[in-house]
C-alpha cells in the first residue's frame, strides 16, 4: 500500500500565526484510523504529533460514468476525512521538516514524503511570496504554476476561484475511477498545487493565505436562478471553509458568517476579505447583481471589522487580498461595490447608489497605509497605483477573460501597466525593509511576444 492509496492529497499548510504555529493538513479516505506527523529541524525529524480528525462534508463523486448530475443531491457524497496536525511553539524563521504517516485499523502504515517549510520570520527579515488566483482546472495553469513553484515562495496569497464547482470532488483532487472531463484530467486544484517535481515548491512547503471567490460557494446554482440568488439561506461556503478551517475557526458557513480574517507575516499584515458578486444577468436589470455575504461598506460587519483591524495594525506593510477587483478595465467593476436598489425611473432596472470602493475601501486603505490590494476574477494582468495604494490583478494564469480595451473603472484611473499578450505570474520579495514585485511571462502565445521567464513588469511597493 502506498501513501496515495489512503490519502487524496499530500500535506498542505495553513496558519493564522505563521511565525509560531503551523497547521499541516491532509485529505484522505475514511479508512485512515490514525495519522501522525513527525517533525524536526532536519530531515531526521525526531518529534511526533497525532493529527486531529475531521469529516469533510459536501464533496460528491459523479452519479454517472459520463458526468455529474446537475442536482448535487443526486450525486453520491464521498466520505472524506481531514487530519490536521497543529504544530505549535515554533521559532520565527526556523525551518521545519516534516512527514505525515497514515495508519489503518489493522495497523498498516504508509509514509508520505519529507517536506519542509519556514516559519514566518521576525519583522525586518527577508521573505518572498507569490500572487495567485483563478486556476479553475484550466490546463495552461499547470504550466504557469510549475514556473511559479520553481521560485519557491515562502507563502502564497490566493485570491479565490480555486475550482469551478465546489461540490465536484474532482475539481479539488483526483479520485481514482471517478469521471472527469477529458481536458481537466490532472488539473484538479491539489494536483496542480502539489506538484513537487523539478524543484517545484508549492502547498507542501508554503502556507496558502486564501480568500473565497465566486466559485467557492457550495452550490453555484444560485447563479442561474433569480429567485434562489435572492434567498440568502441558500448560500454557504462550507466546503471551502472546511478545507481551509484554520482561517475560519468558528465555522460560520452561511450568509451572515465571518468569511474574513487577518494575520501577520514578518512585518506584513494581511487582511483576507470576502468580496464576491453574484452576476448571472445584466447588472442593471432587476434584481441586479448582489454581493454575497453583504457589501463591504462602513456599516457592515466585514467593513467595521476591516476598519478596526487596519487601524489597529502597526505592521510596516499592510496588504489586502479579495476576489473581486476594485480597479479593472471592463464591465465587471462598473456596478459599484454595494447591493442593488430599485431604479426610481424604471422598475425593471436597478441602480447601485453607494460607491463602497471609492468612498469607503480606498480612503480606508490610503488612511491606514495599505500598500497593496490583490484580487482576481477577470483573469488579466493589470495594476494601478492610486494615492500610494497598489491595486494588482495578476490573474492571467490559464485563460484571459478581461477586456484590455474596456471602459475604465469608476475611479477614472488608467492602469500603470496591463499585459494581456501572454500568461504571467507575480512574485514579491521583501529584503526586510522594501517590497519589490516582479511579474514574469509564463507563455509564448500565437502572437509570438517575448519568452518564458522574462520579467515584463518590475516595481517597488512602498
Ligand atoms: Fe471569479
Ligand atoms: Fe475566475
Where are the extended beta strands (E) located within 266-365? Answer: 268-272, 277-278, 290-291, 317-321, 341-343, 346-351
Residue 360 CA, ligand 2 centroid: distance in Å: 25
Secondary structure class of 226 (helix, strand, coil) = helix
Residue 326 CA, ligand 1 centroid: distance in Å: 13
CA-to-CA distance for 117 and 112, rounded, in angstroms? 15
Q: Which ligand is nearest to the CA of 277?
A: 1
CA-to-CA distance for 24 and 141, rounded, in angstroms? 25
**CA angle, corner 58, sides to 176 and 377, nearest 5?**
90
Q: Which ligand is nearest to the CA of 276?
A: 1
What does CATH list as the number for 122-160+260-461? 3.60.21.10
What does the domain layout of the chain look like in residue ranges?
122-160+260-461
pLDDT, residue 226, reads 81
pLDDT, residue 331, reads 66
Residue 306 CA, ligand 2 centroid: distance in Å: 24
Residue 119 CA, ligand 1 centroid: distance in Å: 31
Q: Which ligand is nearest to the CA of 325?
A: 1
Residue 378 CA, ligand 2 centroid: distance in Å: 6
Q: Which ligand is nearest to the CA of 216?
A: 1
**Cell digits for 349?**
432596472
pLDDT, residue 406, reads 83
Residue 328 CA, ligand 1 centroid: distance in Å: 13
Residue 393 CA, ligand 1 centroid: distance in Å: 12
Residue 59 CA, ligand 1 centroid: distance in Å: 20
Nearest partner of 263 among 245, 252, 247, judged by Cα: 247
Give the count of alpha carbons within 13 A of 70, CB side only.
3
CA-to-CA distance for 79 and 283, rounded, in angstroms? 39
- Cis peptide preceding 287, ω within 30 of 0: yes
CB atoms within 10 A of CB 181: 14
CB atoms within 10 A of CB 448: 8
Residue 108 CA, ligand 1 centroid: distance in Å: 42
**Cell digits for 332?**
465587471
Q: What φ, ψ does residue 309 adopt, rounded to 5°?
A: -65, -45
H or E element at residue 97: strand 95-104
Residue 394 CA, ligand 1 centroid: distance in Å: 13
pLDDT, residue 350, reads 93
Euclidean distance between the first and the last CA atom of the chain, given in angstroms as a whole number = 52
H or E element at residue 427: strand 424-430
**Bridge-partner residues for 450, per DSSP?**
none
Q: Which ligand is nearest to the CA of 399?
A: 2
Q: What is the pLDDT along the chain (462 residues), one digit of tens a residue?
A: 999 999 999 999 999 999 999 999 999 999 999 999 999 999 999 999 999 999 999 999 999 999 999 999 999 999 999 999 999 999 999 999 999 999 999 999 999 999 999 999 999 999 999 999 999 999 999 999 999 999 999 999 999 999 999 999 999 999 999 999 999 999 999 999 999 999 999 999 999 999 999 999 999 888 888 888 888 999 999 999 999 999 999 999 999 999 999 999 999 999 999 999 887 778 899 888 889 988 999 999 999 999 999 999 999 999 999 999 888 887 666 788 999 999 999 999 999 999 999 999 999 999 999 999 999 999 999 999 999 999 999 999 999 887 778 888 888 899 999 999 999 999 999 999 999 999 999 999 999 999 999 999 999 999
Q: Can you count the helices (H) and strands (E) in the chain? A: 9, 25
Q: What is the DSSP letter of 435?
A: E
Residues 6+ apart with CB under 8 A from 365: 310, 320, 373, 389
CA-to-CA distance for 235 and 414, rounded, in angstroms? 35
**Bridge-partner residues for 13, per DSSP?**
24
Residue 401 CA, ligand 2 centroid: distance in Å: 9
Nearest partner of 372 among 395, 393, 394, 390, judged by Cα: 390
Residue 282 CA, ligand 1 centroid: distance in Å: 16
Q: Which ligand is nearest to the CA of 136?
A: 2
Is residue 385 within 8 Å of residue 416, measured between CB atoms?
yes
pLDDT, residue 222, reads 87
CA-to-CA distance for 276 and 113, rounded, in angstroms? 37
Residue 136 CA, ligand 2 centroid: distance in Å: 7
Amino acid at each position: 500500500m502506498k501513501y496515495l492509496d489512503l490519502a487524496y492529497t499530500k500535506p498542505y499548510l495553513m496558519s493564522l500565526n505563521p511565525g509560531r504555529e503551523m497547521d499541516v493538513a491532509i485529505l484522505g479516505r475514511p479508512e485512515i484510523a490514525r495519522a501522525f506527523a513527525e517533525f524536526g529541524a532536519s530531515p531526521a525529524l525526531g518529534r511526533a504529533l497525532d493529527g486531529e480528525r475531521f469529516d469533510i462534508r459536501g464533496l460528491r463523486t459523479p452519479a454517472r460514468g459520463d458526468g455529474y448530475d446537475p442536482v448535487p443531491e443526486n450525486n453520491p457524497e464521498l466520505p472524506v476525512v481531514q487530519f490536521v496536525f497543529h504544530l505549535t511553539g515554533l521559532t520565527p524563521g526556523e525551518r521545519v521538516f516534516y512527514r505525515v504517516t497514515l495508519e489503518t485499523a489493522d495497523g498498516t502504515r504508509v509514509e508520505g514524503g519529507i517536506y519542509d517549510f519556514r516559519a514566518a520570520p521576525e519583522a525586518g527579515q527577508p521573505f518572498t511570496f507569490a500572487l495567485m488566483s483563478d486556476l479553475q482546472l484550466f490546463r495552461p495553469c499547470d504550466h504557469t504554476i510549475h514556473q511559479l513553484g520553481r521560485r519557491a515562495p515562502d507563502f502564497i496569497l490566493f485570491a479565490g476561484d480555486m475550482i469551478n464547482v465546489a461540490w465536484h470532488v474532482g475539481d479539488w483532487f483526483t479520485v481514482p475511477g471517478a469521471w472527469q472531463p477529458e481536458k481537466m484530467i490532472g488539473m484538479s486544484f491539489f494536483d496542480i498545487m502539489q506538484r513537487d517535481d523539478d524543484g517545484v515548491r508549492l502547498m507542501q512547503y508554503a502556507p496558502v493565505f486564501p480568500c473565497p471567490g465566486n466559485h467557492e460557494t457550495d452550490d453555484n446554482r444560485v447563479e442561474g436562478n433569480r429567485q434562489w440568488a435572492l434567498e440568502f439561506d441558500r448560500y454557504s461556503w462550507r466546503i471551502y471553509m472546511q478545507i481551509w478551517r484554520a482561517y475560519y475557526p468558528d465555522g460560520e458557513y452561511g450568509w451572515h458568517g465571518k468569511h474574513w480574517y487577518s494575520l501577520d507575516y514578518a512585518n506584513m499584515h494581511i487582511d483576507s476579505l470576502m468580496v464576491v458578486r453574484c452576476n448571472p444577468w445584466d447588472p442593471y436589470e432587476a434584481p441586479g447583481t448582489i454581493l454575497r455575504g453583504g457589501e463591504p461598506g462602513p456599516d457592515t460587519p466585514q467593513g467595521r471589522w476591516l476598519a478596526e483591524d487596519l487601524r489597529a495594525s502597526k505592521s510596516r506593510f499592510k496588504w489586502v487580498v479579495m476576489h473581486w477587483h476594485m480597479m479593472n478595465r471592463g464591465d465587471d467593476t462598473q456596478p459599484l461595490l454595494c447591493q442593488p436598489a430599485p431604479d426610481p425611473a424604471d422598475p425593471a432596472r436597478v441602480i447601485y447608489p453607494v460607491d463602497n470602493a471609492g468612498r469607503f475601501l480606498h480612503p480606508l486603505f490610503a488612511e491606514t497605509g495599505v500598500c497593496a490590494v490583490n484580487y482576481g476574477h477577470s483573469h488579466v494582468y493589470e495594476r494601478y497605483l492610486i494615492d500610494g495604494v497598489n491595486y494588482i490583478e495578476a490573474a492571467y494564469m490559464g485563460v484571459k477573460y478581461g477586456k484590455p480595451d474596456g471602459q475604465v473603472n469608476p475611479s477614472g484611473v488608467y492602469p500603470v501597466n496591463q499585459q494581456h499578450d501572454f500568461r504571467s505570474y507575480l512574485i514579491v520579495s521583501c529584503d526586510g525593509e522594501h517590497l519589490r514585485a516582479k511579474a514574469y511571462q509564463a507563455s509564448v502565445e500565437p502572437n509570438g511576444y517575448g519568452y518564458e521567464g522574462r520579467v515584463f513588469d518590475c516595481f517597488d511597493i512602498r
